[in-house]
Amino acid sequence: MKPEDLKLLVKEKYSEIALQSKEQNESSCCGATGCCSTVDYSIFSDSYSHLEGYVADADLGLGCGLPTEFALIKEGDTVIDLGSGAGNDCFVARSLTGESGEVIGIDMTEAMIAKARDNARKLGFTNVSFRLGDIEKMPVTANKADVIISNCVLNLVPDKQKAFSEIYRVLKHGGHLSVSDVVVKGQLPVKIRQAAELYAGCVSGAIEMDEYLSIMASACLTNIKVQKTKQVNVPDEILSEYLSPQDLEAFKNSGTGIFSITVYAEKPLTDCGCSSC
């Protein structure tokens, strides 16, 4: 599929998801009704309920980590959340920045932006805003953010090099990111790569972990470190939708793994002279 087609597919699926409850989204592996029947999506997500600032109405159960726990957000920080959905991570981040900080959510789905803005209005938050836009071309000025967070979104972006270059542009010098995402170790079977439904929701947009970290480095981000790694054990009932019994057995014995990782990186205090600077 062409990048623009993939973006359209993801946008359509997440427009559906925005209109559903967390319980409905968790009843299928990719959130969209009918995708994977009754398979539990929570194999990817972590519970937010113990975190200060958690808002149940903003939690659609679509994350694969808790980036705010590792993001070192301080009072007064400007935080940008990429793929902000209904605002879940933004509201948790706001509890850390306080009223003196600013939180900006960016999402390319109109329905998600509308839902997030409605949630912020109900909460009376004046320092949390949501902008419709593309992660590969953010509607944000350069050197804006102290911290950038993202939760299970960058794996859905076709041009990850451009996305991380944009992250570099938008971060302040000395600023940092903490992103949770899905990556793989080893090559996923072609049939899974080509499964558009699975791409839109879970893992087939993911790339090799080493390649993921390499792209971050090539965008001039430094001090890159994996803060948390969690293997994702996808049930056979999901994989059997895309693989024959023989292919499934071969895949399980291949050593290929699917992982949720949370990664930290910094923008240097001074420009480094590379193309992203």
pLDDT of residue 59: 87
pLDDT of residue 199: 47
57/146: higher pLDDT = 146
* Mean pLDDT, residues 6-30: 65
Neighbouring residues of 79: CB distance < 8 A, sequence distance ≥ 6: 71, 73, 90, 93, 94, 96, 97, 101, 102, 103, 104, 145, 146, 147, 148, 149
Q: Helices 209-218 & 160-170, crossing angle to 10 degrees? A: 40
* Mean pLDDT, residues 198-202: 50
Domain at 3-266, CATH homologous superfamily:
Vaccinia Virus protein VP39 (3.40.50.150)
pLDDT of residue 209: 93
Q: What is the pTM of this model?
A: 0.84
pLDDT class of 91 with cuts at 50, 70, 90: very high
Indicate if the pLDDT at residue 35 is higher than 50: no
- With a pLDDT cut of 70, the percent of the chain lying above it is 82
Q: Among 4-18, 101-115, 239-253, where is mean pLDDT lowest?
A: 4-18
Average pLDDT, the chain: 84
Residue ranges per structural domain of the chain:
3-266
